[in-house]
Amino acid sequence: MKLGLSSYSFLPLMRNGSMQIEDVFSWVRDHGGEHVELATFSVAPEGADIHYRLGDDSEALDRLQTASRNTGIPLSGICISANFIGQGEVERRAQIERAKHYVELCDRIDVRFLRHDVVQWSHKGDTAAFESEFAGIVDACHQIAEHAQRYGVTSSVEDHGFFMTSSERTKRLIHAVDLSSFRMTLDVGNFLCVDEDPLLATRACLPQASIVHLKDFYIRHTSPGEGWLETAGGRYIRGSVFGFGDVDTRQILQSVVASGYDGFVSLEYEGGEPTDYGCATGLNNIRRMLGEITG
């Protein structure tokens, strides 16, 4: 496995101007990381990621490639926002074409993994709503994955948000698209948004994983106050340093190792502790646990 970080981990520092994309690559190099996964949300103008095209932003793209080259830290994948439901056909088509643009960009800069959303992160829907939208989501993902296959790129959906988050919904989508170029970005913690056990869901989805995201959460059954996310079932979660929270992180890592997965693994820190501390401590905890697991 190749252990690195998502640029999303550094979002607070990037948003307040104390870190630039160059600093992210330098930080990962200095802390022994092996790759950076780019969440375009961290480099796009605030609030504009759903329409942002990195390939059209020549300055940002050049800085990204230069940072990778100067540090020797490869860019492992790109994660983009996307939405294929609840809008007119013109906008839906534009979203699909935008994802295809990213496929071509990945090939141009020698990145082989592209994660795209299928709905807005905050969108919620019951079973009836999911069933009514499912065929359209499958069609959009199939078009993108078919395009990706031509370029040797693997596209993926992530268990992200609420609508397309449960292990069963995600696996069903992958099965319906039925292309080897369409897989899953497996986030071990996000299953909590729909109250699914992260360990069992991770085990269920590992055979479909193209990239693995590691994160941890505190979990409470009643509201502790501000700064906590309410899950679909009425529990409350808040990001933590990896290994500090209530997720069974050691058992999850044991399952990842036992599965034979040997690809990119990205720490995605979104806790309330200072960013540098949360990223460094989480990275060290992952290494320590993996060392204890593998002997």
pLDDT digits over 172-190, tens only?
A: 999 999 999 999 999 999 9
Residue 275 lies in a domain: yes
Which residue positions in the chain have pLDDT lower than 70? none
The angle formed by the CA atoms of residues 75, 79 and 85, to the nearest 5 degrees, is: 160
The pTM of the full predicted model, rounded to 2 decimals, is 0.96
- Look at residue 139 in the predicted model and tell me its pLDDT: 98
Write out the residue range of the structural domain in which residue 213 sits: 194-295
User: Which CATH number goes with the domain that contains 198?
Assistant: 3.20.20.150
Residue type for 284, please? N
Instruction: Tell me whether residue 78 is in a domain.
Output: no
Q: Is residue 45 part of a domain?
A: no
Residue 233 domain-assigned (yes or no):
yes
3-class SS letters over 209-257: EEEEEECEEEEECCCCCCCCEECCCCCEEEEECCCCCCCCHHHHHHHHH
Number of separate domains in the chain:
1
